[in-house]
Amino acid sequence: MKIAHLEFPERPVFLSPMEDVTDIGFRLLCKRFGADMVYTEFISSDALIRDVKKTKAKILFGEEERPIGIQIYGSDPDAMVEAAKICEESDPDLIDINFGCPVKKIAGRGAGSGMMRTPEVMLEITEKVVKAVKKPVTVKTRLGWDDNSKIIVELAEQLQDCGIAALTVHGRTRAQMYKGEADWSLIGEVKNNPRMHIPIIGNGDVTTPELAKQRFDETGVDAVMIGRGSIGQPWFFEEVKHYLNTGDHLSKKSFHWYIDILKEQILQSVERTGELRGILHNRRHLAATPIFKGIPDFKSTRIALLRAETVEELFRIMDEIPEKYQVG
């Protein structure tokens, strides 16, 4: 499979761009465990052109992360063009436009999946960004605004006509947010539309290796993008790739091995952003990681993990878990 000049193996698996999740440390681990492409956290075009320091930091990445996409969002065509040009200076492998984020502070202002209510503006932004940069431009979007306006099949053709190099479709409407089940039937309809010739990437509820294979088999998508299913388990990509290649599940590692990976992830964040910020950034991963699921009477320890404010305190709690709960 190819996106512009980028070549990928058969059935590639991508890391979805996620705010406060896909920082450099997490991306590097996901790459190590087999993610075929990663993306930055999504970046506000307005903040980027205002030269906001925190936002500018999000477009930084290492060579070992390639191929990598920088994702931007916004509702003003001129601001999106300017932001895309700034991103291009960082030399990513592609620039991705976010027309899919459903959160109120973004969609409510007409950006992200808010664009599903103004597809003409979405197409204007896409066409202008494509013309403004030399890097391949891709788009990530949803099925529509709500159940009464699932416009993705027609919209996909129009986005393709704007010159994008690939399209990612999340199988929900904006109204669904992240509730209910992702509908992959419409993703398959987009992929199997004979008028579509760009790669189609499916996204939504890929939480097991079996589901990844099922999505490829049933829809024929060119790639699968994994978002929330990877939070707290960067090794999930290795499990998915192994299952796709062999049909068998990868053998489980020791509890200590998973703890060590999470520690490494925390330390990478701390090194780049400082102790407290690095810990705060990883609380979502600690809350979501499946390695603590099923441990009886774990609530007090979970609370302690999420309240720890120093690496020493956090790692002490993590180190005590195997003996305290007899997990190995």
38 dihedral zone (left: phi>0; alpha: psi -120 to 50; beta): beta
pLDDT one-digit tens code per residue, 267-321 = 999 998 899 999 999 999 999 999 999 999 999 999 999 999 999 999 999 999 9
- Work out the mean pLDDT of the chain and round it to a whole number: 95
Give the pair of three-digit tokens for residue 159: 């986005």
Q: Which residues contact 42 (CB under 8 A, 6 or more apart)?
A: 17, 18, 19, 71, 72, 73, 98, 101
Predicted confidence band of residue 88 (pLDDT cuts 50, 70, 90): very high
pLDDT one-digit tens code per residue, 189-228 = 999 999 999 999 999 999 999 999 999 999 999 999 999 9
Distances (CA, A) of 113 to 100, 101, 219, 223: 4, 5, 23, 21
**Overall average pLDDT of the 83-108 stretch:** 93
pLDDT one-digit tens code per residue, 17-63 = 999 899 999 999 999 999 999 999 999 999 999 988 889 999 999 99
Q: Is 162 an active-site residue? A: no
The residues spanned by each domain of the chain are 2-246, 255-325
Amino acid at the residue 216? F
What is the predicted pLDDT for the residue at 108? 80
Model confidence, pTM: 0.95
Neighbouring-strand partners of residue 147 = none
Secondary structure string (H, E, C) spanning 170-232: ECCCCCCCCCCCCCHHHHHHHHCCCCCCCCEEEECCCCCHHHHHHHHHHHCCCEEEECHHHCC
Distances (CA, A) of 321 to 128, 302, 307, 311: 53, 10, 16, 16
Distances (CA, A) of 135 to 18, 85, 131, 164, 184: 21, 10, 10, 10, 29
**Overall average pLDDT of the 132-139 stretch:** 98
pLDDT at 244 over 90: yes
Of 30, 87, 101, 162, which residue is the catalytic one? 101
Amino acid at the residue 41? E
Distance CA 188, CA 192 (A): 6
User: Which of 149, 87, 141 has its CA nearest to residue 115?
Assistant: 141
What is the predicted pLDDT for the residue at 96? 98
Distance CA 299, CA 305 (A): 10
Class in CATH terms, 2-246: alpha beta
Strands 94-99 and 137-142: parallel
**Residue pair 200/222 in contact by the 8 Å Cβ criterion:** yes
**Residue pair 65/77 in contact by the 8 Å Cβ criterion:** no
Amino acid at the residue 233? Q
